[in-house]
Amino acid sequence: MRHIDLIVIHCSATRCDQNFSVTALIRWHEEKFGFTGYHYYITRDGKIYQTRHENLVGAHAKGYNRHSLGICYEGGLDEQGKSADTRTPMQKQALLTLLRRLKKEHPDAEILGHRDLPNVHKDCPCFDARSEYQCLKLFND
Ligand SMILES: [Zn+2]
């Protein structure tokens, strides 16, 4: 088993008024990496797709892939293509459900957004994941 001490949240950096299905995500990543880099993908309807086995190293956070899991939500850009927290209520609920489960399985994993990692110069995931999911610590402490 891989030891997971980091859970990194991402957005697909696609517009909130455009459909970016799990199939499209898989196709994009397979062209780019030869496999799907995220472990989970959450579409706007709140569906959670496991896109990579947790035991396999992903490709989503340079320098941190070996000991982390990557979760991506569909969206992250507004209608004008600008960075925005476009999560639907269903996506927020799904993220919370998934993170609660993952925290139980990997109790010492820290949850943060891609942009919270050092030397990341993008807005991904376009919201403050670290403070939003701070509360999940309480489940294990
Ligand atoms: Zn990212």
Concerning whether 124 is annotated as a catalytic residue, the answer is yes
Dist. CA 61 → ligand 1 center (Å): 7
pLDDT (tens digit per residue) in 9-53: 999 999 999 999 999 999 999 999 999 999 999 999 999 999 999
CA distances from 25 to 38, 42, 80, 88, 116 (A): 9, 11, 21, 18, 23
Confidence class of residue 129 from pLDDT cuts 50, 70 and 90?
very high
Concerning whether 38 is annotated as a catalytic residue, the answer is yes
Concerning whether 135 is annotated as a catalytic residue, the answer is no
* Domain 6-139 of CATH type 3.40.80.10: yes
Taking the model in full, what pTM does it have?
A: 0.95
**Catalytic one of 11, 29, 38, 73:** 38
Whether the pLDDT of residue 141 is over 60: the answer is no
Residues 6+ apart with CB under 8 A from 52: 35, 36, 37, 38, 39, 58
| Spans of all domains in the chain | 6-139
**Catalytic one of 11, 41, 114, 133:** 114
pLDDT (tens digit per residue) in 52-95: 999 999 999 999 999 999 999 999 999 999 999 999 999 999 99
Per-residue pLDDT, 1: 82
Concerning whether 64 is annotated as a catalytic residue, the answer is no
